Amino acid sequence: MKTMQYTTKWTKTLAVAGMASILMVSASGLSAAQVHAQVQSASGSGQIMDPALTTKMVTSKKLHSSEKWLKADITIPVFQGLADTKYQDQLNDIIESHASKDLAKWEKAAVEAAALAKKNGYTMHPYQLLIQYELTSNGSDNGLVSLKITTEGTGMNNPETLVDTYNFTNEAEAKRITLEDLFGSKYTSILDKHIKSEIAADQELYYKGENGFQGVHPEQSFYVKGGHAYIVFQKYSIAPGSTGTPEFAVKLPDHKDVHGAVQSIIPSSQHYIGKNGKQMVPLASVLRQLNLKSIQDKQGQITISHAEN
């Protein structure tokens, strides 16, 4: 895996001029791009956890199969203690539902393959299904919770691999995070440039032309880990199976201090990303937290003073 750096200098600017009564924090957002990692079989808990991310935010749940022709090793995450309990319940239901459907699919395929093997008189080897997860960020990357779930099934043919990712904020009203949220409106050009450069360096590993990389899209999979954003591509989507599931790492802009300073006084639910990719919050909210008030005269001049108690 190669790491691509995308650096942006974050500065904090209080813009008070005329009718533009807003606080502008120079930030193109939290850089979280998604990944499709090369799948590696793992035993044990099914959870790959960075020691730095040890947390009670997630517990593990095992799913089992009684089908003799399928060896299943399934471990899914169960979120607990999130600020938004409704979102937490919905997310847990979605994750378990997807895993249960994959289990049913592979059980059915294994039974059908066993019947065909018996009919034609050849040896049947059990199918295998591995589902494991990794909590790649527990909120340490600019408040973003990031999860990667890898599903790998092996039958008569080559292994099938699928990577699902989930990215959201842990707050009273959880928000799903997208690439546009993180990089601003120019996210496609920023990420496409990096990915095309990396592909060009190892072109023999990827498809060319119309079958190759065509650009990231709004629903592009990604996860965040260790200060990097990983863009994820499914197996066969931009490269032959021998390449596996390609991932491209982009270093997150260093804006943690600025974002943290703003978040400490203004709830993130009041933040939004402007068209230029800057993080914005209402000036009125800032002044209220600082016990200040603003008065605008007829000429549009704004005066800021201490609010009366």
pLDDT at position 161, please?
95
Name the H helices within the chain.
85-120, 179-183, 187-201, 256-263, 283-289
Distances (CA, A) of 26 to 8, 106, 117, 242: 9, 49, 63, 42
pLDDT at 280: 64
pLDDT of residue 304: 75
Q: How confident is the model at residue 148 (pLDDT cuts 50, 70, 90)?
A: very high
**How much is the mean pLDDT over the chain?**
77
Distances (CA, A) of 65 to 8, 74, 128, 154, 237: 49, 9, 11, 15, 30
**How confident is the model at residue 277, as a pLDDT?**
46
Predicted local distance difference test score (pLDDT) of residue 178: 85
With a cut of 90, say whether residue 122 has pLDDT above it.
Answer: yes
> Sign (positive/negative) of CA torsion 230, 236, 239, 245?
positive
Which percentage of the chain shows pLDDT scores above 70?
A: 68
Arithmetic mean of pLDDT, 224-231: 89
The pLDDT, as a whole number, for residue 34 is: 29
In angstroms, rounded to a whole number, what is the distance separating the alpha carbons of residues 199 and 217?
A: 17
Sign of CA dihedral 22, 23, 25, 30: negative
CB 70 within 8 A of CB 126: yes
Distance CA 82, CA 68 (A): 38
The Cα 300–Cα 17 span in angstroms is 8
**Single-letter amino acid, residue 272:** Y
Number of H helices, E strands in the chain: 5, 15
| β-strands 3-5, 247-251 pairing | parallel
Residues 114-118 have a mean pLDDT of 95
Q: Give the residue among 306, 302, 280 at the shortest CA–CA distance from 292.
A: 306
Determine the Cα–Cα distance for residues 219 and 217; give it in Å rounded to an integer. Answer: 6
| Burial (0-12, 13-18, 19+ Cβ within 10 Å), 195 | buried
Measured at the CA of 268, the angle between CA 267 and CA 270, to 5 degrees, comes to 80
Q: List pLDDT tens digits, range 286-307.
A: 666 666 777 777 777 777 777 7
Amino acid letter for position 173 = E
Q: What residue segments make up the domains of the chain, in order of their start?
A: 30-252
Tell me what pLDDT residue 38 has.
Answer: 32
CATH class, range 30-252:
alpha beta
Note whether 154 and 128 are within 8 A (CB): yes
The predicted model gives 153-159 an average pLDDT of 88
Mean pLDDT to the nearest integer, 204-215 = 94
Name the residue type at position 158.
N
The pTM of the full predicted model, rounded to 2 decimals, is 0.68
Q: Can you tell me the mean pLDDT for 21-45?
A: 32
Confidence of residue 279 (pLDDT cuts 50, 70, 90): low
306 burial level (CB within 10 Å; 0-12, 13-18, 19+): exposed
Beta bridge partners of 11: 26
What pLDDT is stored for residue 299 in this prediction?
Answer: 74
5 beta partners: 251
The string of pLDDT tens digits covering residues 182-198 is: 777 888 999 999 999 99
pLDDT digits (tens, 9 = 90+) for 46-56: 554 444 444 48
